[in-house]
Structure 1
Amino acid sequence: MKIVVIGGTGLIGSKLVSWLGEQGHEAVAASPRTGVNALTGEGLAGALAGADVVADVSNSPSFEAGAVMEFFETSTRNVIEAASAAGVGHHVALSVVGTRRTPTNDYFRAKLAQERLIEKSGLPFSIVHATQFFEFVRGIADESTQDGQVRIAPVLFQPMAGDDVARAVGRVAAGPPLNGRIEVAGPERFRMDEFFRAALASWGDPREVVTDPHARYFGTEVGEHTLVPDDGATLGEIRYRDWPGRDA
């Protein structure tokens, strides 16, 4: 099966291309590094020629409200147009758990716009909603730092390893279209403030983690269940304490 991975040289994309290749698929990494630019449309038609599946795991280089919306709307329209012309039979996209619960978050709103474009495209599709990646834990701590304190809300948090994300997307891409969504998450659920208190301690990071019910997550207050999946989610295998990059 030929599976074209949009964003195929990035964090998740490179892992996905490797996993698909190990399963015997023809996995094609499509990104600006390989001459394919979904935002401008450059190289898309050639990359998708003869493809059975397109899996979009690309991400916006900017999270500014206008830029992130422009990226996901424009690139998704370009992928849909090229995939339709090439006769691709399955459009897979990686999105985020909580997009429908946090309409005031600029990034989540842009991902939701992407999902709606895919749903209305007429192409068979699958959308994989994943929780936050272990690889972004330090970035969350930095984003949440104010005056030397890491301010975190005491809400539920269920992050997962990038390798588990890639496997989940790969299994969906290699299977029949869901024409709907699937949620994937890490194998353990934490209180977010407690998770970060333990994580910073394990890094030897002297910043104090302050429990703040009104702390913002990338600009938005979140509720108890905003960042975690509903019952029935597919769970990854790698626990944070066993993740090789934990103390890197």
Structure 2
Amino acid sequence: MADEAETHRDCVGGCMPQLPKSALAKRAKRHKLGEHQLDQLLQALDGRCMICQRCHAMYIDTTTRAATVRLRGVVCRWCKQRIAVHEGSYGNERGVLGCRCRPRDDPEWEPRMAAATAQYLERTARLTSYATDQEWFEALIDDLSVHGPDPSGVWSGIPLSDLPQLTAPESLPTAEFDRSCSPLARQRCADNCRNHDEHIYIACFAEPTKLRDADTFDAVMHYVGWTRQRPPVRRVNQHGAICRKSLIAIVPGTETEEAHLKDEAQCPQCGRPLRYN
């Protein structure tokens, strides 16, 4: 991987600068990957996303639907969002944003991106059977060294008819809930609830707090979120330990109800409005 002084090289389309090595190393440490191991992985990919192979690899992707969270690969910001939309974590009605790398006038871009996503999910699904993340890492490096970053030739110009097909993820069983009452009147769910396919979670902080991977950059006294991840606490954890520590409720609920709570409801713990400002 490039030295710290060399990490502001633009991606293929000039979309965004490469993350400093220290930032990537910090993200790797969360998943118990050493800096040397991360270097090996990124060198095998020329520092690029495993899906689009244009933007810089900026995130370490993990499974969102399996019973056990497992490492899956390294991807860019845009492809991480694409996977989340495909797997339902962001809701089926959410569109997929694209970076400036995207060729606006290329009719093959979207089908090739879908095929590249399918290639990534199929490839990494074969590796989730390993017992530990360290074994996963070694297997992924071996797979990349043997087959290269693009084993199906998605970005090599092969005909669209020969590309891997992206199929809808398998539906998970879900329990119904009473939609006639307010989410705050519903029975609370456990942190590790797997009975519902969507949840609303609420955190109440002792002082204004900034969260990681949230829909606001401001310091807030409350945070209200919605997720399709199972269990929902996995999404809570992505905001940081302070959000998990300050969590006061997880209930079944829709994205529309989450927005209503943010605008109209009061915190069930402190009684103050849940809205951010």
TM-score using structure 1 length: 0.29
TM-score using structure 2 length: 0.27
Higher-Rg structure is: 2
